[in-house]
Each structure stands twice: as C-alpha cells, then as structure tokens.
Amino acid sequence: MAAAESLIIERPSDDIVVMKINRPQVRNALNLDVRIRLADEITRCGADDAVRCVIVTGSDVAFAAGADIGEMAQAGPVEVMSRNVQKYWRAIMDCPKPLIAAVEGFALGGGLELALCTDIIVAGEGAKLGLPEVKVGILPGGGGTQKLARLVGRHRAMLLIMSGRMFGAAEALSMGVISEVAPSGQALARALDIAREIAAMPPISIMQIKEIVNAGLNAPLDVALMLERKAFQLQFATRDQKEGMRAFMEKRKPKFEGQ
C-alpha cells in the first residue's frame, strides 16, 4: 500500500484482516474518509466467509488521537446532524465477525469510541486513553458517554468524562474498559495471537456468542437467557458441533469449517 493511504489493509493470513489507520501527521485523527473506509472495509469483511477475525490498529504513537477537529470546528448543528458520523460506528458494531482493537499510544475521544466498538481491546502498557471532548467545548458523541458508563459505572464515568482526563492501560484494565494489557509495542502482536486463537474456533459459534452477548446486555435476564438457550440449541444443527465433539472423544484437534 502507498504511504499516502489513510487506511492500510493487510492480510497476515487468509482468515485474519488487519486494518491500520495511517494519518501520522495528525496522530491518526479520524476524519470522514477514515470513518467511511473503516465502515466499508469492516462491512466487507463481515460478508466474507473466509474472514474469521478483524484487527483495527494504528501506530506506536497513536491508535487514534480523536476526531479531526479541523473538520468540525466551524460546523453548525444542522451540518453535524447531516454528516451523522455515528452511522459509521454502527456499521462497525453490526459486523458479525470478531473485532479486536490493538491500541498503542493515544486512544482519545473518537479513537477510544472506535475501540469501544470492537469486541476485544488489547492495549500496550504505555497507552493513554480518555474522552477529552469537554476540553474543546463539546461532549463525546460517538457512544462514549453511554458505553463508558455501562463499563465502569455512572460515578466513575462522570469523573472521567467531565474532567476529560486521560488514564493509562493498567487503570483501563482495572475498570473493565480494555481486555488485556501487553508490553509496549506488542499490542498488535498479542492481538494477532488472539485472532489466530479465535480463527481456529467454529465460526458459527463465535458469531452467535457475539450476537447473544451484545443483545443480552440490553435485555432483561430472562430474555437474555432465552436467547442463550436458543443459540445453544442451534449449534447442534452444525457440522462443526459434530466435528468438535467427535474430535474431543477421539483426542485429536478439530477442524472447523463454519458449517
């Protein structure tokens, strides 16, 4: 890929896709072009049967240091409404395939909101996260207020969002904002290890896990348990269930095909 590309797509294996935000001159700030490309590429991966896991990352300096302020500084409310950039985050969240964010450096504002659209977040020890929008006269508008409060609780979310302060990877892990901390510079390598592990699992089961966990979080417990029960029963219609249990009894490694 040419260095000028704002989003670099790599395929380290047939079943894993890595998407690298590449705007080093602005610490990977998210402009409209990057948002559209991410949404389009992730939607494409979601429809590709060969893809089993997608990783989104940036550079060692920044995952994404926020939204591109230059695109919005002079905008009016009608213009902001018509842009509706939140629809691109919705397209990412709707992807049926597992998404992993590999975070190094800054993941601030829209960058953190992008990471929160994924299913698993691996952050390097030196990562700095936060929602600092209040410092430029606005508030998080890409899901940050709602997702962070659901992850860390109302009182801690209020402190973080109202102060706009940054927090490190260790604190993010302790609050449940991220999944795992890796040594600095190793977040992508660790994300690739996780992606390979997930890619070896039965794809139908993985997609069902993602769907029912996400749906269940916003449903009453009895409804969520019903969704889980139905999804569990559905697995017994798949060849992968037969292969997995047969391999277990035969003491061999299963080969899952997504059928």
Question: The domain that contains 245 carries what CATH number?
Answer: 1.10.12.10
Q: Is 104 a catalytic residue?
A: no
Both 190 and 219 in one domain: the answer is no
pLDDT at 225: 96
Both 94 and 191 in one domain: the answer is yes
Per-residue pLDDT of 220-251, as tens digits, reads 999 999 999 999 999 999 999 999 999 999 99
Considering the domain boundaries, does residue 254 fall inside one? no
Task: Count the helices and strands in the chain (H runs, E runs).
Answer: 12, 10
Instruction: Return the closest-CA partner of residue 63 out of 173, 206, 185, 196.
Output: 185
Both 154 and 131 in one domain: the answer is yes
Both 214 and 104 in one domain: the answer is no
Both 84 and 176 in one domain: the answer is yes
- Number of structural domains, the chain? 2
pLDDT at 2: 41
Handedness of CA 101, 106, 112, 114 (dihedral sign): negative
Both 32 and 156 in one domain: the answer is yes
Lowest-confidence pick of 63-67, 104-108, 156-160 = 63-67
Please return the burial class of 222, using the count of CB atoms within 10 Å of its CB with bins 0-12, 13-18 and 19+. exposed
Q: Which of the residues 64, 113, 115, 231 is marked catalytic?
A: 113
Maximum Cα interatomic distance, the chain, rounded to a whole number of Å: 66
| Cβ atoms of residues 92 and 113 within 8 Å | no
Q: Which of the residues 58, 105, 110, 244 is marked catalytic?
A: 110
pLDDT confidence bin for 4, thresholds 50/70/90: low
Both 244 and 116 in one domain: the answer is no
Strands 7-13 and 53-57: unpaired
Considering the domain boundaries, does residue 256 fall inside one? no
Asked if the model's pLDDT at residue 1 lies above 80, the reply is no
Q: Which residues contact 191 (CB under 8 A, 6 or more apart)?
A: 55, 57, 100, 101, 102, 120, 122
Both 30 and 93 in one domain: the answer is yes
Both 236 and 120 in one domain: the answer is no
CATH number of the domain enclosing 62: 3.90.226.10
Asked if the model's pLDDT at residue 12 lies above 80, the reply is yes
Q: Which of the residues 65, 67, 91, 231 is marked catalytic?
A: 67
Q: Is 71 a catalytic residue?
A: no
Q: Is 133 a catalytic residue?
A: yes
Considering the domain boundaries, does residue 1 fall inside one? no
Both 41 and 117 in one domain: the answer is yes
Considering the domain boundaries, does residue 258 fall inside one? no
Per-residue pLDDT of 72-128, as tens digits, reads 777 788 887 878 888 999 999 999 999 999 999 999 999 999 999 999 999 999 999
Q: Is 199 a catalytic residue?
A: no
Considering the domain boundaries, does residue 160 fall inside one? yes
Per-residue pLDDT of 34-46, as tens digits, reads 999 999 999 999 9
Both 111 and 231 in one domain: the answer is no
Both 221 and 149 in one domain: the answer is no
Considering the domain boundaries, does residue 2 fall inside one? no
Domain residue limits at 192:
7-199
Q: Which of the residues 39, 115, 124, 133 is marked catalytic?
A: 133
Percentage of the residues of the chain whose pLDDT score is greater than 90: 87
pLDDT at 130: 97
Mean pLDDT along residues 190-205: 97
